[in-house]
Structure 1
Amino acid sequence: MLKSVLAALFVAVLGTGAIAQEFQFEAPPLFDNCGDPSLAKARADGVTLGFSPSPPYSSLDPATKEATGLDVELVKAALKWAGVTKFKYEVMPFGQLIPALLADRIDVVAANIHVTPDRLKAVSFTGPAWWYGPAIVVAKGNPAGITSFDTMKGKKVGAIAGSAADEYLRKIGVAVTAFQTDAEEFSAISTGRVDAILEDDVKVIEFMKANASSPIEIVQNVAIPDELIFKYGYGYARYALRKADCSLRSAFTQGLAEVRGNGQASAILKKYGLTNRNMFFFPL
Structure 2
Amino acid sequence: MAPPARTIRTYNRRQGGISRRSLLAGVAAFGALGAAGCTRVAAEGTVEGGDLLDRLRERGEVKVGIANEPPFGYVDDDGEPTGEAPEVAKVLFGRLGVERITPVPVDFSALIPGLKAQQFDVVSAGMTINPPRCEQVLFADPDFLMLDAFIVAPGNPRNITTYDDIAEQGLTMATGQAYAQIGYAAAAGIPGSKVLILPDQVAGLDAVAQGRVDAFAGTNVTVTGVTEGSDRAEASEPFQPMVDGEPALGAGGFAFRLTERNLRDAFNEELHRIKDSGELLEIVRPFGFTEAEMTDLTAEELCR
Q: Which range, TM-score by smaller chain?
A: 0.7 to 0.9
Q: Secondary structure at the match of 2:151?
A: strand
Kindly state the Cα deviation for residue 209 of structure 1 after the two structures are TM-superposed: 1.9
- In 1, the alpha carbon distance for the partners of 2:235 and 2:80 equals 34
- In 1, the alpha carbon distance for the partners of 2:94 and 2:215 equals 40
Contact kept? 1:190, 1:216, Cα under 8 Å: no
- In 2, the alpha carbon distance for the partners of 1:258 and 1:228 equals 35
Q: Letter of the aligned partner of 2:293 in structure 1?
A: N
- In 2, the alpha carbon distance for the partners of 1:144 and 1:196 equals 9
1:152 aligns with 2:166: yes
Instruction: Select between 107-116 and 128-137 the one with higher mean Cα deviation.
Output: 128-137
- In 2, the alpha carbon distance for the partners of 1:250 and 1:164 equals 25
- In 1, the alpha carbon distance for the partners of 2:245 and 2:124 equals 22
Question: Residue 116 of structure 2 aligns with which residue?
Answer: 102
1:133 aligns with 2:147: yes
Q: TM-score, normalised by structure 2?
A: 0.74
More helix by share: 1
- In 2, the alpha carbon distance for the partners of 1:279 and 1:96 equals 27
Q: Secondary structure at the match of 2:70?
A: coil
- In 1, the alpha carbon distance for the partners of 2:52 and 2:173 equals 40
Percent identical across equivalent pairs? Answer: 26
- In 2, the alpha carbon distance for the partners of 1:228 and 1:240 equals 28
Question: Residue 225 of structure 2 aligns with which residue?
Answer: 206
Question: Residue 53 of structure 2 aligns with which residue?
Answer: 39
- In 2, the alpha carbon distance for the partners of 1:37 and 1:163 equals 31
CA-atom RMSD in angstroms: 2.8
Kindly state the Cα deviation for residue 173 of structure 1 after the two structures are TM-superposed: 3.3
Question: Residue 67 of structure 1 aligns with which residue?
Answer: 81
Question: Residue 111 of structure 1 aligns with which residue?
Answer: 125
Q: Letter of the aligned partner of 1:59 in structure 2?
A: Y
Kindly state the Cα deviation for residue 34 of structure 1 after the two structures are TM-superposed: 4.6
- In 2, the alpha carbon distance for the partners of 1:141 and 1:123 equals 41
- In 2, the alpha carbon distance for the partners of 1:229 and 1:254 equals 30
Contact kept? 1:158, 1:197, Cα under 8 Å: yes
- In 1, the alpha carbon distance for the partners of 2:208 and 2:136 equals 32
Q: Secondary structure at the match of 1:49?
A: strand
Larger Rg: 1
- In 1, the alpha carbon distance for the partners of 2:211 and 2:135 equals 36
Spell out, residue by residue over 1:53-101, the C-alpha distance to the aligned partner (whole angstroms, 9 max, x if none).
12333221354x3212222101221222222223221112211111111
The structure-2 alpha-carbon separation of the partners of 1:253 and 1:229, relative to structure 1 and needing over 3 Å to count, comes to: farther
List structure 1 segments (4+ residues) > 6 angstroms apart after TM superposition: 25-30
Question: Residue 241 of structure 2 aligns with which residue?
Answer: 224
Contact kept? 1:42, 1:248, Cα under 8 Å: no
The structure-2 alpha-carbon separation of the partners of 1:191 and 1:101, relative to structure 1 and needing over 3 Å to count, comes to: same
Question: Residue 182 of structure 2 aligns with which residue?
Answer: 166
Kindly state the Cα deviation for residue 29 of structure 1 after the two structures are TM-superposed: 9.3
- In 2, the alpha carbon distance for the partners of 1:48 and 1:214 equals 37
- In 2, the alpha carbon distance for the partners of 1:37 and 1:227 equals 40
Aligned residues: 255
Kindly state the Cα deviation for residue 107 of structure 1 after the two structures are TM-superposed: 1.1
1:191 corresponds to which of 210, 230, 237: 210
Kindly state the Cα deviation for residue 214 of structure 1 after the two structures are TM-superposed: 2.3
Q: Secondary structure at the match of 1:122?
A: coil
Q: Letter of the aligned partner of 1:194 in structure 2?
A: V
- In 2, the alpha carbon distance for the partners of 1:29 and 1:127 equals 16
Question: Residue 12 of structure 1 aligns with which residue?
Answer: none
Question: Residue 5 of structure 1 aligns with which residue?
Answer: none
1:251 aligns with 2:269: no
The structure-2 alpha-carbon separation of the partners of 1:110 and 1:250, relative to structure 1 and needing over 3 Å to count, comes to: same
Question: Residue 6 of structure 2 aligns with which residue?
Answer: none
